[in-house]
Structure 1
Amino acid sequence: MSKIVTLKKNYEFSRVFNKGSFYVGRHITVYVLPNKSPANRIGISVSKKAGKAVVRNKKKRLIRESYRHYQQYIKNGYDMVIAARGDETVPKYGSLLKEFKYLLKKLQVFDQEKYHCLKEL
């Protein structure tokens, strides 16, 4: 399993927020901006409105794992910021996976052909 490359600097997050396209879901919002590198970079943002530190960290872990689950099906060359919505409830992993896949399809960064080919094996 390859290591996830992350966005670390504030200006990197700001660039994706301001110039990227986005879709809003029930639990998360996904922002996507093409970059010039062959790899994807990901940033996770959870506001303090989302609850105390334990809740925020659980949301981050769930988001990171859902990204890891679909990482091989995401087209290369994108900066992506996944922001958790500001309610204090922690979503179930299955519903978060389903929503993440739906938002990736809406943003046209999900590779359907690769997904179906690997599912048939």
Structure 2
Amino acid sequence: MMDLFTPIKENRDFRRIYTRGKSYVSPVVVTYVLKNRSQNVRVGITTGKKTGNAVKRNRSRRIIREAFRQAAPQVREGFDFVLVARGRTPFVKSTDIYRVLMRQLKDAGVLK
């Protein structure tokens, strides 16, 4: 599953993408995009306390990860992404998130 993209785990990477990256906002997910120097796609997924309890936060991360996994083959290499769950995220399906994500990635100009 993780062969299409590598996870972002370091706090400094998240902070760098938040400050330097471009953001695309929707009611279900916020996408931050930043060009990286390598030829791989890196993804970090975050959920704040506003999203709900641990069950809702985990569900949010799961459905965002699945939506990005479906979108990953169409994403150009050399970009970092941080996907942030919103309050509505745990209540929508991964297909809805996929649709929103594809629109945001198209706006960002990172699709092949």
Q: TM-score, normalised by structure 2?
A: 0.93
Q: Secondary structure at the match of 2:92?
A: coil
Match of 2:111 in 1: 110
Q: Is the 8 A contact 1:50 1:85 kept in 2?
A: yes
Q: Is the 8 A contact 2:57 2:90 kept in 1?
A: no
Return the offset for 1:3. Answer: 5.5
1:97 maps to amino acid: Y
Rate the CA distance shift 1:49–1:95 in 2: closer, same or farther, 3 A: same
Q: Is the 8 A contact 1:51 1:88 kept in 2?
A: no
Unaligned runs of 5+ in 1: 112-121
Rate the CA distance shift 1:24–1:88 in 2: closer, same or farther, 3 A: closer
2:107 maps to amino acid: K
Match of 2:23 in 1: 22
Aligned length: 111
Return the offset for 1:89. Answer: 4.6
Q: Secondary structure at the match of 1:8?
A: coil
Match of 1:96 in 2: 97
Q: Is the 8 A contact 2:6 2:43 kept in 1?
A: yes
Match of 1:77 in 2: 78
Match of 1:118 in 2: none
Return the offset for 1:22. Answer: 1.0
Rate the CA distance shift 1:5–1:75 in 2: closer, same or farther, 3 A: same
1:110 maps to amino acid: L
CA RMSD of aligned residues (A): 1.4
Q: TM-score, normalised by structure 1?
A: 0.86
Separation in 2, partners of 1:87, 1:71: 23
Higher-Rg structure is 1
